[in-house]
Amino acid sequence: MKLGMVGLGRMGGNMAKRLENDGHVVQSYARSGGGTAGSLEELVGQLERRRAVWLMIPAGDPTEQAVQELLGLLDEGDVIVDGGNSNFRDSQRRAGLAAEKRLGYIDAGVSGGIWGLANGYCLMVGGEDDAVGFLEPAFKTLAPDDGYAHVGPSGAGHFVKMVHNGIEYGLMQAYAEGFDVMNSSEFDLDLHEIPAHGPEPAHLHLDVRFLLLAAPGEVARASEESTAIRWVPRAQLLAFSDDESLHRMESRTRAVLAGRRPVT
Of 23 and 178, the structure prediction assigns the larger pLDDT to 23
Q: Which residue has the higher pLDDT, 75 or 191?
A: 75
pLDDT, the chain, mean: 83
pLDDT in tens, 35-66: 999 999 999 999 999 999 999 999 999 999 99
Distance CA 179, CA 215 (A): 34
Q: What is the pLDDT of residues 144-184, one digit of tens each?
A: 988 899 999 999 999 999 998 888 888 878 877 888 888 88
**pLDDT surpassing 70 at residue 219:** no
Angstrom CA distances, 253 to 176, 231, 259, stand at: 12, 19, 11
For 144-153, 196-205, 233-242, which range has the lowest pLDDT when averaged over its residues?
A: 196-205
- So which residues are the catalytic ones? 161, 168
Q: Which residue pairs, CB below 8 angstroms and at least 24 apart, start in 174-182?
A: 175/232, 175/236, 179/236
Cis ω before 50 (30° cut-off from 0): yes
Would you say 73 and 47 are in contact if contact means Cβ atoms under 8 Å apart?
no
